[in-house]
Amino acid sequence: MTHCPLRFTFHASRITHWLALAAAMVFVARSPVCAFAEPASSRELAYKQQHLRERYEEIEQQLARLGELLAASDADSAARVQAALKASRDGVVLSELQEVIQSLLASKTKTATERQTRVVEQLQRVLQLLQGQELSWEELQKRLANLQQLRDALQKLVERQQKLEQQSGDAMKSEAEGKHADPAALDKQKGEQAATRGDTEKTAADSQQPEKFPPDTVDPKALDRAAAEMQKAEQALGNRKTADANAHQKQALDELQAAIGQMQSRLEAEKAAQTERMRAELKAGLKAMLEKQKTVTAATAALDKQIPPKKSPPREAALKAAGLAADEAALADRSEALQKKLRDDGTTAVFGQVLQQTAGLLHDADARLKKVQTGAPVQEAQKLAEMNFQELLEALQEEEARRAAAGAAGGGGGGGGSKSMLLPPAAELKMLRMLQDRVNRGTRSLDDDRAGREKPTPQEAAAAKQLSQREKEVGQTTDALRKKWAELSAPRPAAVPADPTATDPVKDYMAKALQDAKNPLSPVVGDMHTVEEQLGQTVTGKPTQIVQTKIIRSLNELIAQAQQAQAQASAMPQLRRKQPGKQPEAGQQQPAQGNKQPSSPAAASTLPSGAAAEAAKLHKIYGGNDSDAWGKLPPEEREKFLQTLKDKFPDRYEQILTEYFKQLSTAKPPAGTR
């Protein structure tokens, strides 16, 4: 035991080092805010901020070394340090601090203050992880997986016990009819009951592991009582008393059902907490990335003006381009990290696709900037990435406003089981419509360039194939959304009696969308496949554009229906309070048909006012004799469609999209967007 003092000294030293790091991080988190209280110029504040940034860079390096040192001897502490370091890097704290410095040097103190606030929030979260006050994302996912496994194990026990109870009930009925029970069958049932009891006792013990489950996950006494009743049933079966065995089995089943009900409530609460955290992280991340991308896009445009045409760029320009490339690479990494979290969350389909597309655009911009290519191709890709961030952020903000309004009206903020969904169906459908509209715009732009020529040029054929690939991606995303709806709306086998007041109109709507042959969710995938094939053959005129218009109209109908379901879901809790004697039945809520407006639609997502937000000058869509042609649409349908696009895409987006799709015919597709 002579090595114990040395081991103690070593561990104490590491703990002291750890606490010193934590104290330094608190100082860094507080200092930027306090710095503005001092009467100093912006340049002086920038120097102080630079000093803090250098100190924090050292802290990140020390955290990395500390995590490596602890990995071999203290796995839990190492995981905590690594989670804190990952949160720091995911939050791009060093990059944000650099942005603060640049803002101060430019005397933009308001912008600097806003960015410092975000830095403080990120640092506080890093410190919480370091001190073990908050689960990391990986730890949270592991906990949810453990809870789901425990819930599934309980569900299997319930199913096994139900089967045993049914068997003893059948034997009891046979005896009542004067038939003797089969001793071999009773012995077999006794053995199965003993096995079920053993698994129940094991599950009760497993549920009490603090490293796997939060406290009060399930009542162990309920499982102990269930196991005791099972043991009594075994004894009764051994004594050939089927009635007694059946009574004890029913009691055991009641205890199991009570336990799984508690387990389900705990799991739903954990999922809801994860969803709220995901919303907050996604919103903060998108806001920061949008602002950063705007800065990089503007810097790229400014740099492009400084580089003489048809000449080698000066060394200074090459260095600036390399810095911008690094910024784009970091933004691509953040987009991919958010996409991974969305996959882990498992309740969205379209948002992840948009983030994947954005990461591809940013990787393409990174590659071009490394070659000091600062012209139109890279700038259009940057602007499109900006648009993606803007659209995603607006969708989140719109949903946040809708939930706040529902909460203020007594609707509980989300409506039933849909609270655990990151985004409701309407928000996903709007993003899907945005993706489809971009392909439609690219098609019209390419067709205008062809000017009626029947035979396409090689460049036009290449651009059409790129659009066909994008249409294929939209179709795959639509199909992924359909599968996700099936997964989220599928009823789980009930272990306890169904609660008729737990009806969720949003999930009812998703289930109906999958079953109703008249609903356009399934046919729209077929229409997208048709467009994909036509674009692959460089058919960019009327036949393709008619189907594309039909797709948008179908999505508009789905959005209206989804908004109606969301309005009903928000009103359900208040309705139950007003009419406690009446309980809504599943299936009562019918989604709106056609283009009927919902009674309480979500607030429209709008862009800033001003010249940039004027109505878009949309390309004309070809008319004709076909009954689905644009010229034959009813006036109210045509106006509604136009207004939707005018509200959603101002003329600055029209120009950006047109220029971007023109690049498709002269450049390789961005990596990761195919």
Q: Where are the domains of the chain?
A: 12-134, 138-266, 307-491+502-577+586-663
Give CB contacts under 8 A, 24+ apart, made by 417-420.
417/268, 417/502, 417/504, 417/506, 417/507, 418/504, 418/506, 418/507, 418/566, 418/569, 419/272, 419/275, 420/268, 420/271, 420/272, 420/275, 420/347
**What pLDDT does residue 23 have?**
45
Could you give the CA distance from residue 575 to residue 583 in angstroms, rounded to a whole number? 9
Q: Which residues neighbour 543 within 8 Å (Cβ) at sequence distance 6 or greater?
A: 534
Question: Which overall architecture, per CATH, does domain 12-134 show?
Answer: Up-down Bundle (1.20)
Under a CB-based contact definition with an 8 Å cutoff, are residues 281 and 396 in contact? no
490, 512 contact by CB (below 8 A): no
pLDDT in the model for residue 294: 93
* Cβ within 8 Å of residue 643, ≥6 positions away: none
Under DSSP, the state recorded for 495 is: S
pLDDT score of 161: 92
User: In whole angstroms, how far apart are CA 159 and each of 154, 183, 203, 253, 431?
Assistant: 9, 24, 15, 9, 41
581 DSSP assignment? T
Whole-number pLDDT of residue 436: 92
Q: Identify the architecture of domain 138-266 in CATH.
A: Up-down Bundle (1.20)
Q: How many CB atoms lie within 10 A of CB 221?
A: 11
pLDDT value for 414:
45
State which residues of the chain have pLDDT below 70.
1-40, 76, 90-91, 128, 131-137, 215, 406-420, 490-504, 507, 512-520, 570-674
pLDDT at residue number 649: 52
The CB density around residue 428, as the number of other CB atoms within 10 Å, is 26
- The pTM of this model reads 0.62
Residue 665, pLDDT score: 54
Apex CA 12: angle with CA 9 and CA 13, to 5°?
A: 85
CB within 8 Å of 658: residues ≥ 6 apart = 441, 445
The DSSP string of 378-394 is HHHHHHHHHHHHHHHHH
User: How many Å apart are CA 54 and CA 31, to the nearest integer?
Assistant: 14
Token pair of 642 as six digits: 């136009």
Same fold yes or no, 12-134 and 138-266: yes
CB–CB of 631/624 below 8 Å?
A: yes
What are the tokens at 250? Answer: 């029913």
Q: How far apart are CA 298 and CA 304, in angstroms?
A: 10
Q: Judge whether 199 and 155 are in contact, CB under 8 Å.
A: no
